[in-house]
Amino acid sequence: MNQLKVALAQMTCIKADKNKNINKMRTFAEKARKEKAKLVVFPELSLTDYVVRDLLYELAEPVPGPSVEKIAEIAKENKLYMVFGMPEKSEKAESVIYNTAVLVGPRGYIGKYRKMYLPTHSVFEEKRYFRPGYETPVFETELGKIGLIICYDVFFPEVSRALKLKGAQIIICISASPAVRRNFFETLTAARAIENNTFVIYVNLVGIEEGLQFWGGSRIISPSGSIIKKAKYNEEDFVVGEIDLDDIKHIAAFVPTIRDLRPEIYQKLKDMAEAL
Amino acid sequence: MKLTPQVLELNWEATAERIKQFIKDYIEKVSANGVVLGISGGVDSSTAAAISALALGGDKVLGLIMPEEETYNPKDIEDAKLIAEKFGFKTETVDISKILKAFYSSIPAFNPEEKISKGNIKARTRMICIYYYANTQKRVVVGSSDKSETMMGYFTKWGDIAADISPLMDLYKTQVRKLALHIGVPKEIAMKPSTPALWPGHLAEEELGIKYEILDLILYGLERFMPPEKIAEQLGLSVETVNKIKERWVANEHKRRMPLTVKLQYRTVGADFRIPRTK
């Protein structure tokens, strides 16, 4: 199956209320099923809301864990794949939390990605709370090969490139980006799609928290960088767009970035980055 | 980066929209009946009141006009009423003269020559009146402070700065004037010389010793980590002038924070208690 409908659930989240957010996810999932979407994507930390600060210590859960099970149940009921964000508590060490994207499907929990690049500048304080991830898994599903990234990761092309080199056809970027950074994300999400010949599905939070207005503007971007479907700016929205994985083949011949990769540059980059 | 007036230009329509959404969202989240704010007839409070009315509807906004004998200015009162009429919100006048006299006569150490301390009593008295209306009518207090004055510490601690939300605090004074014009505040109010009105003839630019057009560009440069030497060179000022502004900005951080306490326990209010705002 190379054509599929993807739903972008650009939701406002209820602060620190996991049950209410799961209920919202259920409503969006049902809507997605009705519109014949196979995949529905929610924003970064959509289980808890983005700005929860010290409450993260009580809100974080293992993955898989109780909330993942509930959401996996929704996926099963609606025969859907779902991607959402949540704070993940390590089962091996106390007070170790990850900012995690979770993929569940019609047969339950599939896998997770832990955010590698944690913004800790300007209004962001993620390193205060989270440990960075070290893995870039790609999940082979009946929809295609899916890689996950989270928000600030999009500024680091190597994360998406790693996913591409593992065969990703769809890169899903869940996000909580405030309005002053909109231009960056609109440019970079398209860049990641073009340079990797992949679809990029970007789903951003909306709503105002601590004076930050999350701008929404979620989108499905084709491997040529064009926007297939876009949600509204600054308000809750739900849109469905269709992608055709065969488009990757067409564009890869036209913009053969992976054929033209120069592996030797990576060692040089490593040396230069270490000497910065 | 070139420090020219253009750097202070924003998309005023989008800015007004963001501020309106911010006010509306906050009032809804805290389930308040509306907002209350002091209105002086100056640009900041006129703009704060006008944009609140645009965000919420005039029936949700109450403007308090709080004159006192010493700085009584009928033109300012007229301007405050004009804004209220134009943007469709109610006003109430609270003459604070008697309250002030009671303070002056009740404080054994009161010295009328200490004009800043005396002026601060006026600003704090207004704050008390505004919060009385907020408490009894379940309203949110909207502050009018702009970024220039907040960075300079040019306000009364616990006085005019006191508010629940300050929708203009990330806009420099010259930017507030532009926003004011954009949303329909009459030009003569938008461009009126700023005054804290703590004593007769009190003018902000005179007291600060610099024009807002220059001050805002200096602050803009400092905000973006520009070295004072570079700011001075670009604006044709002495490094000493820029350094004075920088020192004043840094020295007034105590006015912009929770009270400092000594760290004694596990998590401390104002230090490492980091709780999200839900109200």
pLDDT tens, residue by residue, A143-166: 999 999 999 999 999 999 999 999
Q: Is the per-residue pLDDT at A123 higher than 70?
A: yes
Over residues A262-275, mean pLDDT:
95
| CB < 8 Å to A55, chain B | 275-276
Question: By the CB < 8 Å criterion, does B155 face chain A?
Answer: no
- In a 3-state reduction of DSSP, which class is residue A210? coil
pLDDT-based confidence at B197, cuts 50/70/90? confident
**Can you tell me the distance from the alpha carbon of A47 to that of B90, in angstroms, rounded to the nearest whole number?**
42
Amino acid in the structure at residue B55? A
- By CA distance, what is B26's nearest residue in A? A208
Percent of chain B at pLDDT above 70?
Answer: 100
**Can you tell me the distance from the alpha carbon of B92 to that of B39, in angstroms, rounded to the nearest whole number?**
10
**Can you tell me the distance from the alpha carbon of A49 to that of A82, in angstroms, rounded to the nearest whole number?**
17
Q: Is the per-residue pLDDT at A2 higher than 90?
A: no
Count A/B contacts: CB-CB distance under 8 Å: 33
Question: By the CB < 8 Å criterion, does A94 face chain B?
Answer: no
* Contact (CB, 8 A) for B59 and B33: no
Q: Taking every pair of C-alpha atoms in chain B, what is the biggest distance, in angstroms?
A: 54
- pLDDT tens-digit map of A4-27: 999 999 999 999 999 999 999 999
Residues found in chain A: 276
| CB < 8 Å to B171, chain A | none
End-to-end CA distance of chain A: 46
Q: In the sheet where B61-65 sits, what is the strand order?
A: B90-93, B61-65, B34-38, B139-141
Q: Tokens 């704050």 sit at which residue?
A: B127
Please provide the average confidence, as pLDDT, over all residues in chain A. 97
pLDDT-based confidence at A1, cuts 50/70/90? low
Question: What is the reported pLDDT for B25?
Answer: 96
E-assigned strand segments in chain B = 34-38, 61-65, 90-93, 139-141
**Can you tell me the distance from the alpha carbon of A68 to that of A124, in angstroms, rounded to the nearest whole number?**
26
- pLDDT tens-digit map of A188-221: 999 999 999 999 999 999 999 999 999 999 999 9
CA distance A2 to chain B (A): 40
Of the candidates A54, A179, A210, which has its C-beta nearest B277's C-beta?
A: A210
**Can you tell me the distance from the alpha carbon of B94 to that of B96, in angstroms, rounded to the nearest whole number?**
6
Number of CB atoms found within 10 A of residue A90's CB:
15
- pLDDT tens-digit map of B234-244: 999 999 999 99
Over residues A116-140, mean pLDDT:
97
**Can you tell me the distance from the alpha carbon of A205 to that of A234, in angstroms, rounded to the nearest whole number?**
9
A63 vs A53, B192, B242, CA distance in Å? Answer: 20, 59, 53
Q: Is the per-residue pLDDT at A131 higher than 90?
A: yes
- pLDDT tens-digit map of A74-114: 999 999 999 999 999 999 999 999 999 999 999 999 999 99
Of the candidates A53, A125, A208, which has its C-beta nearest B22's C-beta?
A: A208
pTM reported for the whole predicted model: 0.93
Question: What is the reported pLDDT for B279?
Answer: 64
Q: Is the per-residue pLDDT at A126 higher than 90?
A: yes
| ipTM value | 0.89
Q: How far out from the chain centre does Cα B10 lie? A: 20
